[in-house]
Amino acid sequence: MKLIKTKAELIDALATIRGNIALVPTMGALHEGHLSLVSAALADGSSGSNSDDLVVASIFVNPLQFADLGDCDDYRNYPRTLEADAKLLESAGVDIIFAPDVEEMYPQGTPEIWVRTGEMGAQLEGASRPGHFDGVATVVAKLFSLVRPHRAYFGQKDAQQLAVIKRMVHDLDLGVDIRGVPIIRGSYGLAESSRNQHLSATDRENALALFATLSALRDRQTDLEQARVELSHAPGVDLDYLEVVSPETLQPIPWPPTAPALALGAITVGGTRLIDNIDI
């Protein structure tokens, strides 16, 4: 396993690769959800005929996707655990870790040219975090350009991110096979997230209200308006949004849905923002 911190070294390391390259982009602070992406990448590679296939994982806390281009406590306090993350990825079977610093990724400071995500990036999470998905799409496009992956893996927990990246690849003809990997859940259904480490025991219990609400929508035990009311009154929960949308376009659809749909929600518990979703 190689730990690489510069773009030049990464390009050199990949120059002679003859097999397919799988990319797992992360911001570090790894958990079982991230490792499931690596497992999926390895499994897809082992099912092929080329023994030269390899898996690249990136670790980069991208300031462009945070408020004020990273000039905020959320960015400053985001957990950075490179040494522990590298050990996990090595044990998981990753071939190359690309872990640049901000100056390496953006040597001239904030880039002039961005990927704009339009209406898809301006709603739901984008409405609460303006510019977030433009920052995500810009850094992912840079990673695709550097790594030149055949496949890239993203968790379905970030359903809007997954949809935006798929649309970016389609609209810009980037030629990368984007694969979503199912959500990994802990006790009682809490979705794994790097931010979970900020939750107290009470916060974790209160946070379960989001998954319970999404499950009730999936099982038609409530309607959307009632679900919003109940979630907004759950102990310790500050509701941002709860919506039912088309999985492809992210546009809201009437309740009850008559075709496959996605229920998404965002809450804040104990000062920590959490998102989750479920197929309907």
Question: Any idea which residues carry the catalytic annotation?
Answer: 34
Alpha-carbon distance of 190 to 157, in angstroms, equals: 11
Exposure string for 219-228, b = 16+ CB within 10 A, e = fewer: eeebebeebb
- Map tokens 């197929």 to a residue: 279
Alpha-carbon distance of 243 to 225, in angstroms, equals: 10
Task: Take residue 19 and report the two structure tokens written for it.
Answer: 């097999």
Interstrand relation of 21-26 and 54-59 (parallel, antiparallel or unpaired): parallel
Exposure of 37 in the CB half-sphere (CA atoms within 13 A): 30
For the chain, the straight-line distance linking the first and the last C-alpha, in angstroms and rounded, comes to: 40
The residue type at 103: E
- 3-state SS, residue 162: helix
- Map tokens 């996707």 to a residue: 65
- 3-state SS, residue 22: strand
Alpha-carbon distance of 79 to 82, in angstroms, equals: 9
Alpha helices (H) in the chain, listed in sequence order: 7-14, 32-46, 73-76, 82-92, 102-105, 118-122, 125-128, 132-147, 159-171, 201-218, 224-232
* Strand ranges across the sheet with 237-245: 237-245, 262-269, 272-279
